[in-house]
Amino acid sequence: MELSDAYIASFISERDELLVEMENFAKQHHVPIMQLAGIESLNQLLRIQKPKAILEIGTAIGYSALRMAKALPDCQIVTIERDESRVQYAKEFIARSEAANSIQIIEGDALEVEMEKLPTTFDAVFIDAAKGQYMKFFEKYSPLVPSGGVLYIDNMYMHGLSNLDIKEVPRRKRTMIRNLKTFSDWIMSHPDYTSAFFPVGDGLLICLKR
Ligand code: SAH
Ligand code: MG
């Protein structure tokens, strides 16, 4: 049986004015920020993990970065976004928050960012960018994660598409879905990671490095 939305909503924490403004902005401008139940779960796992540094791929307007920064006041967050106007919005929103000093935004394509620009280790990496490229993001950034660190990967449901038979997936999205499937098969049998799928929000995959 499915849990009712009202029951799930009863566990969602209150957000301050700035966060609510960002949620409304995202809705209005069709920016795909993380769902509330997803971010609650991610944040609780992060509170348990207690990372000192997080790398986020896919800032959008800075919503999830700010949510993570609020959940972990002692953590430094580096976040990468390639869309210039989203970077501007993210900077403006974050400047208005109390977490401005703990979030660094890097503008650019995460697959092209020079590694020298980044700290050498991140105990947590949150991948939430172009869905067809998860394998590439993982291959590029997982070497920065030490043993015991975690990669969190959002949108494994692909808004329901990854659940469908490939013939039912719109043609222009098939490559993306095939890539996602290749990635999930690869990571689930990867000897260096213990991975688990959390069917919350749009589907969160959690890969613990051995
Ligand atoms: N994490 C955000 C939502 C991110 S939406 C939140 O929950 O609040 C995904 C974002 O990833 C988009 O803004 C898109 O522009 C960005 N993106 C996609 N591919 C990227 C890439 N290769 N490098 C950097 N950013 C990318
Ligand atoms: Mg997402």
Ligand 1 contact via 38 beta carbon (within 6 Å)? no
For the CA of 31, the closest atom of ligand 1 is: 5
Structure tokens at 180: 């996602």
Is residue 141 pLDDT above 90, yes or no?
yes
Residue closest via CA to ligand 1's atom 3 equals 33
**For tokens 């280790």, what's the residue?**
121
**In the chain, % of residues over pLDDT 90:** 90
Looking at the chain, how many residues does it have? 210
Mean pLDDT of 99-123: 96
- The stretch 124-152 carries a mean pLDDT of 97
Q: How far apart are CA 35 and CA 3, in angstroms?
A: 16
Superfamily of domain 3-209 in CATH is Vaccinia Virus protein VP39 (3.40.50.150)
pLDDT of 50 reads: 98
Going from N- to C-terminal start, the domains of the chain cover 3-209
Letter string b/e over residues 74-98, b meaning 16 or more CB atoms within 10 A of that residue's CB? ebbbbbbbbbeebbebbbebbeebe
1 C-alpha vs ligand 1 centroid, how far in Å?
33
Cα-atom radius of gyration of the chain, to the nearest Å? 17
Q: Is 69 in the pocket of ligand 1 (CB under 6 A)?
A: no
Alpha helices in 1-122 (DSSP H): 5-9, 17-28, 36-49, 63-71, 84-95
Residue range 112-125: average pLDDT?
A: 95
Output the CA–CA distances (angstroms, integers) from residue 178 to 92, 173, 183, 195, in the order listed. Answer: 36, 9, 9, 19
Report the pLDDT value the prediction gives residue 158, as an integer from 0 to 100. Answer: 85
Answer yes or no: is the C-beta of 124 below 6 A from any ligand 1 atom: no
Measured from the Cα of 137, ligand 1's closest atom is 22
**What pTM did the predictor assign?**
0.96
Question: For residue 1, what pLDDT is reported?
Answer: 61
Question: Stretch 154-181: mean pLDDT, rounded?
Answer: 91
Residue 31 in this model has a pLDDT that exceeds 70:
yes
For a pocket test of ligand 1, which of 24, 29, 82, 202 has the largest count of ligand atoms closer than 8 A to its C-beta?
82
- Is the model's pLDDT at 152 over the cut of 90? yes
155 is in an annotated binding site: yes
Is the CB of residue 110 below 6 angstroms from any atom belonging to ligand 1?
yes
